[in-house]
Amino acid sequence: MYITEIFKSIQGEGTRAGLPCIFVRLTGCNLRCTWCDTAYAFHGGKKMSVEEVLGRVDELAGRSEKLHGSQSAVPLVELTGGEPLLQEEVYPLAEKMVAAGYTVMVETSGERYIGELPREVIKIVDVKCPDSGEADTFEMRNLEALGEQDEVKFVLSTRRDYEFAREFTLQHGLARRVRQVLFSPVFEDPGGKWQGLEPRAVVEWMLADGLQVRLGLQLHKFVWDPATKGV
């Protein structure tokens, strides 16, 4: 499999934001969102075996092979990208990580079917909004594959995106399907490629509409420079 980076940081998004987490960023993505902040993961990467990836995660977690199954100092691992589900090796990797005692999360664009992942894996599934440039790419079978431990995320760059997310959330009863629905305003690009969406505006819209969703902010971009990689 091809890996862009493996690093230890804090979880920046979702209901586990702020917790220590090890990230495995797989290389490659078949979408091109207008506000993508990980375009460096589209190409290249280092070829690694599933065992090599797991070994590196164990090192960062302060574990050795003989400690598999015991509690890790950093038990939370996220498989991300790019789009991690483009590489078939992600499935045995996720299985081995679950078996090793890690809490495993997979963050995906929502364009790939999530139903082949191990049941224990926490799925963080995007639904692309109109102004992402990748509208209508969501795999609708994912609605039935979602579980009560999973999360659905909408990245919002405009009022139109918000209205789409609101209607999709209500139409498909997302609040009863998953642990949390997240509305995440786009963070302004440090290089000026795109504008951000003011979080306060999203909060005001959410409150006005009485939506039971969570505001999602990219916490790591407040801790480090927004352009910093590997955090």
pLDDT tens track for 112-132: 999 999 999 999 999 999 999
Residue 191 binned pLDDT confidence (cut-offs 50, 70, 90): confident
Alpha carbon separation from 230 to 38, 86, 220, 227 (Å, rounded):
10, 21, 10, 10
Give the tens place of pLDDT for each residue, 68-118. Answer: 444 555 699 999 999 999 999 999 999 999 999 999 999 999 999 999 999
- Asked whether the predicted pLDDT for residue 37 surpasses 50, the reply is yes
Q: Is 181 helix (H, G, I), strand (E, B) or coil?
A: strand
d(CA 184, CA 206): 12
Peptide bond just before 173 cis, omega within 30 deg: no
DSSP annotation string for 63-86: --GGGTTSPPSS-EEEEESS-GGG
Q: What is the chain's mean pLDDT, rounded?
A: 92
pLDDT the model gives residue 71: 52
* pLDDT surpassing 50 at residue 66: no
pLDDT of residue 180: 97
- pLDDT at residue 67 tops 60: no
| Backbone CA torsion sign across 38, 39, 40, 45 | positive
pLDDT greater than 90 at residue 53? yes
In this prediction, residues 37-61 reach a mean pLDDT of 96
Q: What is the pLDDT of residue 44?
A: 95
Tell me the mean pLDDT in the region 214-227.
Answer: 79
Q: Which tokens sit at 212?
A: 């039971």
Tokens of 110: 């929502």
61 Cβ contact list (under 8 Å, min separation 6): 8, 22, 72, 73, 74, 75, 102
Stretch 35-48: mean pLDDT, rounded? 95
What domains can be seen in the chain, in order of their start residue? 2-223 (3.20.20.70)
pTM of the model: 0.90
Strand partners, 22: 8, 77
Per-residue pLDDT at 64 exceeds 90: no
